[in-house]
Structures are given as structure tokens and as C-alpha cells.
Amino acid sequence: MLSQTFLPDLLKGKTAFVAGASSGINLQCARRYAEAGARVFIISRSEDKIAAAAQQLRGDGLDVTGMACDVRDAARLKEALSACRDAYGPIDIVLSGAAGNFIAPALGMSANAFKTVVDIDLLGTFNVFHGCYEYLNEGGASLVAITAGQAVRPMMYQIHACAAKAGVNQVIKCLAMEWGPKNIRVNGISPGPIGDTEGMIRLAPNEQAVEASKKRIPLRDWGTKDDIGDACLWLASDAARYVSGAIINVDGGSELGDASGDAFGMKGD
């Protein structure tokens, strides 16, 4: 984790907008931005959950407010972005992290099931970025989308998320090209297995599954929400001023493939 003494002024005076921030990775990113001095506006579709998250962060002395907003609803997003700008000024940092997922074979999902995940992940990311443009700081901004390994690696029972996240990667790259001349940087973070998240609790529900998962990862461990928060913090800061159009894996090397050595009957250590 980045040093707390380094953090307080890194994003001082900046405004951040975080979508999908009522829990998990995105909530931790919102916390990191606020700990680094940013004023942070958070949204998620559940009124109760977003109110609780904002209250929790404010209770820790952080400047955070939020409102309920589903990223599939472009008109409501405009209201949220406008409220953010009115409360905190032009937006410098945008994190698009709202996602929906479930494990199901292709034949076990309806067209609406497929569409639901594409709408949340892909259309939602488009809506957040497309909608935020007019509220951004004219001097420049950092936009980050949370993508996933499914974007580049096909995965069983994940046809909806694979298709959606592949699209998210292209949204990131297209906007990095179109908006670079305005000094708007657009990047993606692709988290590997991150502990203490809803996704990993479902994917590895017992100790045996956890150990098997860790054994396949080159760094032999799951990441933490702070690992993603720190990467997002770096991308939001001037330290990443020349980084745009990048998809950054924060995954312990998972993207490289199975590092267990099992395929060769070896222990991999």
C-alpha cells in the first residue's frame, strides 16, 4: 500500500466521480482518492447502499457525497454528474467500475440475461464516459474503467462478461484516441483475483478452491482492494500524465496463464 504520509496532498483540490462505489474494489478506490485529498462523489444503483458507503467514508473524515444512480440510465447519470460538479467543481477524475455478473453456461442464459450484463458493464461504461465529458475540467482529466481478464481471455460460463469487457477495452482505447487532444487520459485497470470481494467469494467458495486459484498465479497470492486502489490513485495523479489508452493488469501475473506447473506434472516452485 502507498505510504499514508505520501497520500494527503496527491489529489488535493481535485474532484473525483466514482460509479459502482457502494462496495468492493470501487468503494476502496473512492476511499483512496479521498484519502489523497480529493472530493469524491459516489454512485451506485442502491439508494441504501450508497448512502451507507458515503456515511462510512464521511465518518472517517473524508469529503464524500453520493446519490443512487444506475449507469444504464443515461439521463439519471447526467443528474449525478451535474450534482457532482455543482457540489465540488469541474471533474478531474472519473472511475467507471459498475459491473454485474453471474456464472452460467451460454445455453443457461436468455437473451435478456446476456443483455443485462452487456448493458451494465459496456453500455454503463460508455454512458459514464460519454456523459461526463461536459463536466470535466477543461485543463484535462483522468478517466479509468475497471475491465477484466475476460476481455482478452475467453472463459467458460462467462460469455456475457467476456463480450462486455472486450467492448469496454475498445471504449477505453477509442476515447483515448478521440479525447487525447483535450488532455483527457483514458485507461483501464484489469484486476486479477482480489480477496474479500463478492466475485471471488462466488468463484472460490471454499479453502480448497482458494488454494487451487492461488497456485495458478505467478505471484502465488490474490491481490487486495488496496492494490487496485493504489493503481487507480497513480493513474489519477500527475505521475501518470503521459499514460493513456493503456489496460494495466493488476493481477499478480495471472494474465500470462496457468503458472501452477500442473500441465507438466511439476510443482511450479
What is residue 100's three-state secondary structure?
Answer: coil
Whole-number minimum distance, CB 110 to ligand COA, in Å?
3
* Contact window for ligand COA (CB under 6 A) among 11-19, 102-110, 149-157, 180-188: 102-110
How far, in Å, CA of 261 to CA of 28, rounded? 33
Q: Does 210 bind ligand COA (CB under 6 A)?
A: no
* Contact window for ligand COA (CB under 6 A) among 11-19, 99-107, 150-158, 248-256: 99-107
Q: Does 203 bind ligand COA (CB under 6 A)?
A: no
Nearer to ligand COA, 93 or 146 (CB): 146
Nearer to ligand COA, 16 or 25 (CB): 25
Beta-bridged to residue 109, according to DSSP, are none
What is residue 67's three-state secondary structure?
Answer: strand
Whole-number minimum distance, CB 195 to ligand COA, in Å?
14
Instruction: Please say whether the beta carbons of 227 and 249 come within 8 A.
Output: no
Q: Does 133 bind ligand COA (CB under 6 A)?
A: no
Site string for ligand COA, 151-190 (x = CB under 6 A): ----------------------------------------
How far, in Å, CA of 26 to CA of 175, rounded? 21
Nearer to ligand COA, 15 or 101 (CB): 101
Q: Does 198 bind ligand COA (CB under 6 A)?
A: yes
Cell numbers describing residue 238: 500527475
* Contact window for ligand COA (CB under 6 A) among 9-17, 111-119, 207-215, 239-247: 111-119
User: Which ranges in 180-258 belong to alpha helices (H)?
Assistant: 198-203, 207-216, 225-236
Q: How many residues does the chain have?
A: 269
Whole-number minimum distance, CB 51 to ligand COA, in Å?
19
Q: Does 113 bind ligand COA (CB under 6 A)?
A: yes
Single-letter amino acid code for the residue at 122: L
Instruction: Please say whether the beta carbons of 19 and 98 come within 8 A.
Output: yes
Q: How far is CA 148 from the centre of its chain?
A: 9
How far, in Å, CA of 57 to CA of 29, rounded? 12
Cell numbers describing residue 188: 483501464
Binding residues for ligand COA, how many (CB under 6 A)? Answer: 14
Residues that bind ligand COA (CB under 6 A): 99-102, 104, 108-110, 112-113, 116-117, 198-199
